[in-house]
Amino acid sequence: MVTSDKSFRPLRQRPSFVLSQLGFHSDRTFDELLVPVGVTRRQYGMLRILADADGRTQQELSSVLRVHRNVMVGLVDELEAAGFVERRRNPADRRAHAVHLTDRGRALLPMGEAALDACDDQLFGTLSAADRETLGDLLARVADAAHLLPGVHPGYEQAGDAPPNPISSRGRSNTRTG
């Protein structure tokens, strides 16, 4: 028989655990805010990448978003069916598909940005402006120390045969369906 029964530190006082809780909560909140926009989190991440540099190949997009190229096919399919992007042939390399934002896709970007604003407000609205900034700074420092890419969500590390981090870009994607 083991003695133990020592009292453990409550999980609310475990920053890494609270971080996990809040990360999940953040995802869910953003998911809901994105519903009226009409895209998923991952889809918005794609559009955001394209906003920075239109016309990337699916391969390049796969690397940035950290999804496998097989998954990227479906992602582009969805967005193309919704009229947010279109595939164009690259005359230089007719194997590659250049993915371009449509006007409709571009018009969606500010809506996603507004959803992000709302998400931040919803999560941190109870904090004072000073506390909010302090928290943002600390989180950014921790993310830097963990070597998390500035805008790439670690939820899709299975980049498969894609080259490692070719473009230091931004993306948002995740699984965590819960």
Tell me: does residue 10 bind a copy of itself (CB under 8 A): yes
Q: Would you say 87 and 80 are in contact if contact means Cβ atoms under 8 Å apart?
A: yes
> Quick one: which segment of 2-10, 63-71, 100-108, 145-153 binds DNA (CB under 7 A)?
63-71
* Residues between 42 and 81 that touch a copy of itself (CB under 8 A): 48, 51
Residue 138, token pair as written in the block: 């600390």
What does residue 98 show for φ and ψ, rounded to 5 degrees? -85, 125
CA dist 141 and 144 (Å) reads 5
CA dist 48 and 65 (Å) reads 11
Of the candidate residues 59, 118, 123, 132, the single one contacting DNA (CB under 7 A): 59
Q: Closest approach of Cβ 76 to DNA, in Å?
A: 6
Radius of gyration of the chain (CA): 19
Q: Which is nearer to a copy of itself, 90 or 158 (CB)?
A: 158
Q: Would you say 123 and 29 are in contact if contact means Cβ atoms under 8 Å apart?
A: yes
Tell me: does residue 132 bind DNA (CB under 7 A): no
Tell me: does residue 116 bind DNA (CB under 7 A): no
* Residue 167 interacts with which of a copy of itself, DNA, none, CB < 5 to 8 Å by class: none
Task: Pick left, alpha or beta for residue 55 (phi over 0 → left; psi -120 to 50 → alpha; otherwise beta).
Answer: left
* Residue 76 interacts with which of a copy of itself, DNA, none, CB < 5 to 8 Å by class: DNA
Q: Which residues bind DNA (CB under 7 A)?
A: 57-59, 62, 68-73, 76, 87, 93-97, 158, 160, 175, 177-178
